[in-house]
A = this chain, B = another copy of it.
Amino acid sequence: MHTKWKTWAHVTKLDPDKHLTEEQIAEIATSGTDALILSGTLNITKENMTELRDQVKEYGLPLVVEPAGPESVVFHGIDLLYVASVMNTSDARWIVGKHRDWAMNPDIVWDKVIPEAYIVLNPNSAVGKVTGADCGISAQEVAAYASVADHYFKFPIVYIEYSGMYGDPDVVCEASKAIDHAILYYGGGIDSGAKAAEMARYADTIVVGNAVYDKGVKTLLETVQAVQ
């Protein structure tokens, strides 16, 4: 598991604050997606995180928890913990502060932790609002953050997060050119095979989330088929 995640082309992000039927979960888990990421921004707790984990675990797909903060960290029964640091915010809590608070806790299983450099680009998304991200930056500035995340901080993942909105492929292209080592994630607004394929030209891994809830599992299957 420690390096296999680097080969994932398509991951599905499930929100512990939203409901899926058993049938929907079965379809998602057998869609061909490479892994499930349990992640949300609002109303995320250990309780709804573990509840979702228990709903999906029987399918044997790799399970990643991406906590909204220290309060929603779950290690038990999951493979990896993706922990984000937001590059383009002036609020240091989301870069290093909450991580400091979390590290006061002696029970961290660092071997499961994969750090992610988030570059948040949708000002109207919950993650954009909560973290106070400066979403009005140029493609060149996005690329500079990506370069710093890769070359300076050595983040294994750089994540272009348009959360809920389809982003600018040129921005993702510039970010990909700025990176030498990190795996580039793209997430936001992928709700068709064409959009999945377009972002997969530049990103190593694409993330499909809202489309599962808004458009259904059939759309998820199209995005999987477009990149696998």
* Residues of chain A whose beta carbon lies under 8 Å from any beta carbon of chain B: 83, 85, 87, 89-92, 95-97, 99-104, 108, 110, 113, 115, 140-141, 144-145, 147-148, 151-154, 178
Docked CA distance A179–B115 (Å): 17
Instruction: Give chain B nearest CB distance to A86 CB in angstroms.
Output: 9
Copies in the complex: 2
A-B contact pairs, 24 of them (CB 8 A): A83-B152, A85-B153, A90-B92, A90-B97, A91-B92, A92-B92, A92-B95, A95-B95, A95-B96, A96-B153, A100-B141, A100-B145, A100-B148, A102-B148, A103-B144, A103-B147, A103-B148, A104-B140, A104-B141, A108-B151, A113-B151, A115-B152, A115-B154, A153-B154
CB within 8 A of A104: which of B92, B115, B144? Answer: B144
Q: Which residue of B lies closest to A140 (CB)?
A: B104
Known contacts A151-B110, A151-B113, A154-B154: A96-B87 contact under CB 8 Å? yes
Residues of chain B with a CB closer than 8 A to A87's CB: 96, 100
Residues of chain B with a CB closer than 8 A to A148's CB: 96, 99-100, 102-103
Helix, strand, loop or mixed for chain A's interface?
helix
Docked CA distance A140–B103 (Å): 10
Instruction: Give chain B nearest CB distance to A198 CB in angstroms.
Output: 26
Instruction: Give chain B nearest CB distance to A114 CB in angstroms.
Output: 10
